[in-house]
Amino acid sequence: EPVEPVGPAASGAEVPWARDSDRPWYSRTAPYDLSTAARHVHVHLSRFETSDPEPSEIRVCLDPLDELASVTDGAAFRRFVEVVTNRVRMARGMGHYHLSAGVDDGIPDDVASLFDATVETRTVESDDGVETHQRWTLHADDVVTDWLPL
């Protein structure tokens, strides 16, 4: 089944693939249809790759993943994230995956291992009000930072 296009290419766009194309540049999928969503990512990344982008020039953001993780079988959720992550890496892109749930809140344990890093955030009370802090985990080196002000 073809990818359902939803909007015109941006004619004033700064990137050649958008400026030179009258084809739509984004699409929609049915909620929770993981295989179609992964196929949409593949189709769109293939279009971007034709302009030979620089590493990390292509950015893919999946936000939020909480509901998807809560209504999908853990193994299917992990497989979807793995397929999308591998395809983004093949395109030399950068992926951002947003989960408001903590890593201990029902997300399959092995999902974090698919990423180069995990960033956690928290808010804490201070004398100056509420502050937001972040903590990074670099999975390849097994490094966890202290909580740092954001």
The confidence band for 104, taking pLDDT boundaries of 50, 70 and 90, is: low
The arithmetic mean of pLDDT across residues 25-51, rounded, is 82
Is residue 50 over pLDDT 90? no
Q: Where are the domains of the chain?
A: 116-150
| pLDDT tens digits for range 106-129 | 566 688 889 999 898 999 998 989
Global pTM reads 0.76
Return the ∠ at Cα 2 (arms to 15 and 43), rounded to 5°.
35
The confidence band for 11, taking pLDDT boundaries of 50, 70 and 90, is: very low
The confidence band for 24, taking pLDDT boundaries of 50, 70 and 90, is: low
Q: How many CA atoms lie within 13 A of 27 on its CB side?
A: 19
CA distances from 113 to 1, 23, 35, 85, 119 (A): 32, 36, 21, 11, 13
In contact, 83 and 38? CB cutoff 8 Å: yes
| Greatest alpha-carbon span in the chain | 57
* DSSP-derived 3-state class of residue 37: helix
Residue with more model confidence, 51 or 103: 51
The confidence band for 21, taking pLDDT boundaries of 50, 70 and 90, is: low
In contact, 91 and 48? CB cutoff 8 Å: yes
